[in-house]
């Protein structure tokens, strides 16, 4: 199974208050969220499938902050963008958050680095998806 960096695109059609485990409760606006992570363990990108299963209600255990968003009954896992063989979680997250249409959700998804967040928000899917694809292209193009 390939390994690398991935970004999940998640829709939250209505504003919601979500408890993110030890990170606490966040009031999230309706819109689109991007979660940036890496999958370098033995299962590689099978981690993305695990996130999909949790979003479908086939798993209950939350390991990462994004699992609390994916486990919310109103959220919808839309897509995953991947960069195989690239360890660029922080670079991708920073690039997305530098886009004027995207905003970091402070304190989520980045507990093992110095970044403020690896969960980003935009009200519009197209704007967020463009930023995500551009960020992944920037780490894979020589």
pLDDT tens per residue across span 99-109: 989 999 998 87
With bands split at pLDDT 50, 70 and 90, how would you rate the model's confidence at 11? very high
Strand order in the sheet with 31-39: 76-84, 4-12, 31-39, 119-122, 103-104
pTM, two decimal places: 0.94
Note whether 29 and 15 are within 8 A (CB): yes
Q: Which secondary-structure segment (H or E) carries 32?
A: strand 31-39
Could you give the number of structural domains in the chain? Answer: 1
Residue 141: pLDDT above 80?
no
For the segment 126-138, the average pLDDT, to the nearest whole number, is 96
d(CA 45, CA 5): 8
The domain of 33 spans 4-140
């Amino acid at each position: 199974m390939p390994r690398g960096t991935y970004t999940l695109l998640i829709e939250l059609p209505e504003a919601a208050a979500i408890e993110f485990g030890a990170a606490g409760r966040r009031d999230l606006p309706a819109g689109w969220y991007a979660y940036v992570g890496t999958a370098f363990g033995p299962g590689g990108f099978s981690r993305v499938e695990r996130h999909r299963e949790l979003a479908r209600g086939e798993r209950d255990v939350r390991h990462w902050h994004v699992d609390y968003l994916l486990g919310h009954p109103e959220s919808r896992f839309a897509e995953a963008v991947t960069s195989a063989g690239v360890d660029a979680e922080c670079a991708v997250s920073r690039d997305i958050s530098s886009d004027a249409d995207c905003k970091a959700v402070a304190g989520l998804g980045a507990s093992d680095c110095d970044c403020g967040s690896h969960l980003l928000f935009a009200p519009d899917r197209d704007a967020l998806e463009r930023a995500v694809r551009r960020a992944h292209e920037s780490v894979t193009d020589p």
